[in-house]
Amino acid sequence: MELKFPFEPIKRAREVEKIVMKGNSRLYYRFRPAPYYGGIATADAIGCSFLCAYCWNYDRNLNPERFGKFFSPEAVASNLLRIAEEKSFSLLRVTGSEPILGEVSFKHLIEVIKAVFKKNARFKFVIETNGLVLGYRSDLIKYLKFPNLRVRIAIKGVDEKSFESITGAKKDFFIYPIRAVKELQKGHIKAWPAVMRDLFKDSEIESLKDILRKEGIKGDIELEKLERYPFVLDNMKKREVTLRS
């Protein structure tokens, strides 16, 4: 996909959604057990509204049309359930991309979740999202009211400048992931913010906490640890995104 930085991420989300969705099926490139959260069945999807400098799935999200296979919601749920049962996991997730690019991909995700909970209502499903569309289209949040659903919002910067540098998206959109956390919590949906700890000084993390508090967001920030793959560090260098000193 042709792309110039900084880009308009809602426009990009719509363009990417047209590529990664076919009817109600979405592009995925693998299903796997993962060690995070103490063990979680994972579906790795393709396609994102951002293009984060530290993304471990950068190439697939830059050129989503080149990778993966289309899977229906039922097939995604079946793969996740198989892994969960084989590994005795109680947690399931979609990751590796942005699961909510617009209404079509959102509907696909909802049907995946419904299929999982229909099989076993005791499972917990984690949505890992950048929060852009949920903040921009907060009317979608009411459809996320499942008892065992958790939503983790990756806040990609501590302010507008760092957000634009990291995501490649225009700085004006920094506020939307924060709005997503706020609206999810207002809707009594378990949601929390996360930020990449390795990129920011303690004082910068504190400034983000102040922003969240002023928005009425409760709870702690999850501090992510950067997976320092060589290709990730090379890409960060090209994008002039540095690790904290």
Mean pLDDT of the chain: 97
Closest CA to 73 of 108, 102, 40: 108
Torsion of CA 27, 31, 35, 41, to 10 degrees: 100
142 has a pLDDT exceeding 90: yes
Tokens of 34: 């993962």
How many C-beta atoms surround the C-beta of residue 88 within 10 A?
Answer: 7
Number of H helices, E strands in the chain: 9, 9
Tokens of 149: 């659903």
- Of the candidates 154, 151, 156, the one whose C-alpha atom is nearest the C-alpha of residue 169 is 156
pLDDT tens digit string along 80-109? 999 999 999 999 999 999 999 999 999 999
C-beta of residue 196 within 8 angstroms of C-beta of residue 240: no
- In this predicted structure, the answer to whether residue 1 has a pLDDT above a threshold of 70 is no
User: In 113-148, which positions are buried (b, 16+ CB within 10 angstroms) versus exposed (e)?
Assistant: bebbbeeeeebbbbbbbbbbbbbbbbebbeebebeb
Q: Torsion angle, CA of 47/49/55/58, rounded to 10 degrees?
A: 50
pTM score of the predicted model: 0.97
CATH 3.20.20.70 fits 9-238, yes or no: yes
Say which DSSP state 219 is in: S
pLDDT exceeding 70 applies to what percent of the chain? Answer: 99
Mean pLDDT of 221-231: 96
Q: Confidence class of residue 3 from pLDDT cuts 50, 70 and 90?
A: confident
Query: Under a CB-based contact definition with an 8 Å cutoff, are residues 135 and 177 in contact?
Result: yes
Q: Tell me how far apart the alpha carbons of residues 111 and 75 are, in angstroms, rounded to a whole number.
A: 11
What distances in angstroms separate CA 174 from CA 4, 16, 38, 47, 54, one per listed residue? 18, 20, 30, 19, 17
Q: Please say if the pLDDT value at position 245 is more than 70.
A: no
